[in-house]
Amino acid sequence: ARSFADIGDIIRGKDLYIGNRKEKEKVKLQNNLKSIFKKIYDALPDEKKLRYNGDRQNYYKLREDWWNANRQQVRKAMTCNADNDAFYFRPTCGKGTWTNEKCQCVTHDVPTYFDLCAPIS
């Protein structure tokens, strides 16, 4: 299982399976991500594309921007089917309360350390 932080790293191109035994999976994943982000790039208005000039081989800037814009939605998608009694293993949420109910604060905010939230399986 991968954690939320791992997923963010993979999308941003910072952690794509370390080790030779997974080299084929790494190449396949990298190619799939390039294809996905090429489609996102191609759909951008021309003035937005200027930000990513020189980054079209791997789209790392676009990946980073996409992750920053969509991380909360990805997090919600990961936890929407979690059991209501799923919680993170330490209290937080600003006042030392537990992240009860799907690893989120009672306000439905993601904890400040949300990238470290345990994987949801």
Q: Do you know the residue count of the chain?
A: 121
Q: Which helix (H) or strand (E) holds 103?
A: helix 100-103
Measured between alpha carbons, how far is 49 from 80 in angstroms, rounded to an integer?
33
pLDDT digits (tens, 9 = 90+) for 80-110: 666 666 554 455 555 655 555 555 555 555 5
CA 44/CA 42 separation, integer angstroms: 6
Poorest-pLDDT segment among 22-26, 46-50, 75-79, 96-100? 96-100
Separation of alpha carbons 68 and 106, rounded Å: 23
Residue pointed to by tokens 């936890």: 79
